[in-house]
Amino acid sequence: MEEGENRTDTPARSRRAGIVVVSLVVAAGLVGWLRLRSTDYRIDFLVPVETFNLALVMKLEGYGSPVDIRTYLPVEEDRQQILGERAETGGFLLRIGHEDGNRTAHFHSDFPKGEKTIEYDMQLAIKGVRYEISPRYRVERPSGGVPERYTRPTETIQSTAEEIDRLARNLLPDSGRLVDYLRAVFDRVRSLQARPFKGTTDALTALRLGEASCNGRSRLMVALLRNRGIPARLVGGIILTGGTKRITHQWVEVWIDGHWVPMDPTNGHFASLPHNYLVLYRGDLPLFRRTADVAFDYRYRIERRLVPRQQIDPESRQVGFWSAFAEVGIPLELLKVLIMIPLGALVVLMFRNVIGTHTFGTFLPALIAAAARGTGILWGLVGFVLLIAILSMLRRLLERLQLLHSPQLTVLLTAVIASMLLLATAGIKLGVARFPKISLFPVAILAITAERFTLMEIEQGRIAAWLVMAQTLLVVFFCYVVMNSLVLQVLMLAFPEMLLVVAALAVWLGSWTGLRLSEWIRFGPLIWKKAG
């Protein structure tokens, strides 16, 4: 009789769950619709923006004599925005100044000894630009508004040399239009064979060799423009691609009707620049000026990162619900972590209820994934495994003392803190920048997980324990992917009522009564054989 009651109760339970799911989804949609109608919330503010974390890392060997290093830092302007800066000077004095429109950094130390490391970190947001050059402009010297030095020859930009003059005359279009001459010069310079020269390549050398790096090409283009009286200048910067690099880049800016219009003949950008071109300085200048006879090396470390538009656009600051938190000093980053944890829990629920995965702790994977935001997923998983392994060995030692459960957990809790501090210190010494952030891991839960891991090793064997550990790491990875999706983060922050949808999905998954995927794999052949 009980079996029949259970079967008849299952459809009723499913209907009740379905009603709850539909009610929650409708409620979320209704709340979102009312908020959009009653506020000036703009949907385009949900689109994430790519930013760049740029670190200039300089290393040198000091011998007790004074050392000076001068270089250039980005200037904030219309197309590039500096969101934050931080310097670790390694004992050097830092003075930031301005020279001829460029921003300079001067590092000085009177008696540096041994290996020194200087790091200057910046977070940047850059926009791409594109100009349309009107055909009404003619090839002629502008009447004013620009310094004369941008039309004069220099030692490396020989704009009055006979060969440069002859080529400039040949490139002059019959139409006399500026845009046609710019295109002709651009195409001629771009036709030079690419060659990565070290040192300085002047305009004449690039023309005579028929090959040049970005420096030689840019100087030749500036020379051909100045020959016709068109103001032009060199720009030095970096193309921001992920990774570590020493190579910088150089391109050209042309003065047209009150605007400096960019041209990059090396990479084919005519009157435009992509959003990953960072301007460091303007002029024919060396990137570094430093004390001679000092072992010196540098690298640029670049990371691309998507962030909510609210972080960089003053017009799109959070409104309504989140503004109350902002007023009391609660940062958006903390809110983002908190609001994404239910999504991580939903991923865990899907793996446990639908796939049949076993994990340590019900929602431990979601919490570890949240903590791994600082370390990155790779170092987060490595740190998690190391901590559990260390605590498991300690748990075995405590077993011999025959302590009560609460004292054991207290010792494990203390060991978690000590282990995280040791791992963080090791990360600093080894130069693993993200590893010290392992200290964000949930301390108490790690202690309990270590205890469960040890008990499973004792009761079910080491293979079974590490198999569950592997499944836990797999779920942590997928939780991390979902919780760090910027699209989902921005969506949840913009519409916190989406938490009702998460709850609806949890109810729907909770009403799952069929076989899990792992059970289908395990018992599928037997089921099909019996059905056949």
We report the CATH number of the domain holding residue 113 as 2.60.40.2250
Rounded Cα distance between 248 and 414, Å, is: 48
Query: Are 428 and 410 within one domain?
Result: yes
Confidence (pLDDT) at 6: 45
| pLDDT one-digit tens code per residue, 208-251 | 999 999 999 999 999 999 999 999 999 999 999 878 899 999 99
Query: Are 502 and 491 within one domain?
Result: yes
Confidence (pLDDT) at 173: 93
Q: Which domain holds residue 298?
A: 49-128+291-307
Structure tokens at 431: 């130069």
Which DSSP state fits 175? Answer: T
pLDDT > 60? residue 434: no
Q: 353: helix, coil or strand?
A: helix
Query: Are 330 and 439 within one domain?
Result: yes
- State mean pLDDT over 487-493: 80
Beta bridge partners of 12: none
Query: Are 426 and 500 within one domain?
Result: yes
Confidence (pLDDT) at 7: 41
Rounded Cα distance between 165 and 172, Å, is: 11
C-alpha dist (Å) from residue 349 to 28, 45, 408: 21, 31, 30
The structure's pTM equals 0.66
Rounded Cα distance between 281 and 72, Å, is: 6
- Asked if residue 285 belongs to a domain, the reply is no
Query: Are 381 and 494 within one domain?
Result: yes
- Asked if residue 71 belongs to a domain, the reply is yes
- Asked if residue 122 belongs to a domain, the reply is yes
Query: Are 203 and 346 within one domain?
Result: no
- Asked if residue 486 belongs to a domain, the reply is yes
Q: Please state the domain count of the chain.
A: 3
- State mean pLDDT over 53-69: 92
Query: Are 477 and 333 within one domain?
Result: yes
Query: Are 303 and 385 within one domain?
Result: no
Rounded Cα distance between 334 and 336, Å, is: 5
- State mean pLDDT over 25-30: 84
- State mean pLDDT over 165-173: 96
- State mean pLDDT over 478-493: 85
* Contact indicator for 283, 102 with CB cutoff of 8 Å: yes
List the one residue out of 259, 142, 160 whose CA is nearest residue 204.
Answer: 160
H/E element holding 465? helix 462-483
- Asked if residue 43 belongs to a domain, the reply is no
- Asked if residue 210 belongs to a domain, the reply is yes
Query: Are 121 and 141 within one domain?
Result: no
- Asked if residue 76 belongs to a domain, the reply is yes
CATH number at residue 210: 3.10.620.30
Which DSSP state fits 76? Answer: P
Query: Residue 16's CB: how many other CB atoms inside 10 A?
Result: 12
Query: Between residues 11 and 372, which one has the greater pLDDT?
Result: 372
Query: Are 303 and 399 within one domain?
Result: no
- State mean pLDDT over 479-500: 85
Query: Residue 431's CB: how many other CB atoms inside 10 A?
Result: 8
How confident is residue 414, by pLDDT bands cut at 50, 70 and 90? confident
% of the chain surpassing 70 pLDDT: 82
- Asked if residue 204 belongs to a domain, the reply is yes
Query: Are 404 and 428 within one domain?
Result: yes
Within 8 A by CB and 6+ apart from 16, the residues are none
């908190």: which residue's tokens? 338
Query: What mean pLDDT, rounded, does the chain reach?
Result: 84
How confident is residue 8, by pLDDT bands cut at 50, 70 and 90? very low
Query: Are 372 and 415 within one domain?
Result: yes
